[in-house]
Amino acid sequence: MGTKTKLEILVLLLLTSGRDPGIVPRNSHPPEPEDIGESSNLSDWPGGQHGSAGLPLTKDVLVNGVLVKVKYCHTCMLYRPPRCSHCSICNNCIERFDHHCPWVGQCIGKRNYRFFLMFVSSATVLCIYVFTFCWVNIGKTMDTHECTFGRAILKSPISAILMLYTFVAVWFVGGLTSFHLYLISTNQTTYENFRYRYDRRSNPYNRGLVQNFIEILCSRIPSSRNNFRAKANEDSAAFASTLSMGRVLSPPKMSVDLEMGTKRQAVGAEDMEDLHSQIGSSMGLERCGTEPPHFVGRKGCSEIASDIETFAEEFGMDNKFTERKKIEPHTNVNP
């Protein structure tokens, strides 16, 4: 039984760590506002009334008669399905995200949660099995040699080491098994339980004790939404390289900043030359000690020059700089 149980645990470990946990494929482009639907909450997104940049932060979805808010993922550029969350370690949106397990090196989600539960429960049974039979072996050694418990440990040190190891390990895997059995009985995930989502309102996913266990243990596992053996097309390859390089490869055109909800425009070479000329003219006014009369009571030339440099370096946007120029044009005063 021991060898068979060990083999089963290894197979379950491989299924847990090597299986797609339920990764939601990313979009190469953000969704258009007209495709979002009427249930979108435009008030939750700053700048939500400005064309294609107005993507609402959340969207309402009906689950078992209860309205559930789903969030927009800026990394995957999609609205997450219910109970989906973005894993910061795997950098993917996972369906029915439970947690990221560092011991198996994989997220635990909709497609591998069953195998994870079977893995930890089988490890608990194995620990109890090994501990029990090591204890029996120590007892037989005491009866055979008619010695004390300490001498029996010296005669069978392997049994003593295994007893100590399994006694410590059973508290971890056994506690984890008990905790997940409780989560299944209430149809929660570890992520939802730690965030106390259902303390003050009913859980729309709870279908009763029996149905909850049937849903986890007996329901059909959905097929993967990803074809990992497919050839990557040019759009997805460019999208992945852009993300890995911090969006350095983004084209110098009008782009949408989804985090801030504002539009930015890259500054061309001609605009940079214009910036340098404006900075030079401001510095020249400072050196010659002249100042136009309409700047009396306002900032000096050095402060204006520093403002121009700050906008040029910090924002890199010609539209911001032109707004700064609109204060009043410089005029040359002839001595």
Structure confidence at residue 20 (pLDDT): 93
Question: Radius of gyration (Cα) for the chain, nearest Å?
Answer: 32
Read off the DSSP letter of residue 42. Answer: G
Can you name the residues that pair with 69 across neighbouring β-strands?
60
Structure confidence at residue 2 (pLDDT): 62
Strands (E), the chain: 58-63, 66-73, 78-79, 85-87, 92-94, 99-101, 106-108, 255-257, 262-264
With beta carbons less than 8 A apart as the criterion, state whether 43 and 58 touch: no
pTM of the shown model: 0.64
Can you name the residues that pair with 62 across neighbouring β-strands?
67
Q: What's the rounded Cα separation, in Å, for the pair 24 and 19?
A: 14
DSSP string, 99-132: EEETTTTEEE-TTTHHHHHHHHHHHHHHHHHHHH
Kindly report, residue by residue over 224-283, the tens digit of the pLDDT.
998 888 887 765 555 554 454 444 333 433 333 333 333 344 344 445 555 455 555 444
Can you name the residues that pair with 101 across neighbouring β-strands?
106
All structural domains of the chain with their residue ranges: 1-21+104-218
Considering 101, 107, 127, 301, which one is annotated as catalytic? 101
Structure confidence at residue 302 (pLDDT): 47
- The question of whether 288 is a catalytic residue gets the answer no
Structure confidence at residue 176 (pLDDT): 95
> Can you list the residues of the chain whose pLDDT is less than 50?
38-40, 42-52, 241-242, 244-270, 275, 281-305, 311, 314-335
Structure confidence at residue 72 (pLDDT): 92
Structure confidence at residue 307 (pLDDT): 52
Q: What's the rounded Cα separation, in Å, for the pair 9 and 122?
A: 6
Structure confidence at residue 235 (pLDDT): 58
Structure confidence at residue 86 (pLDDT): 95
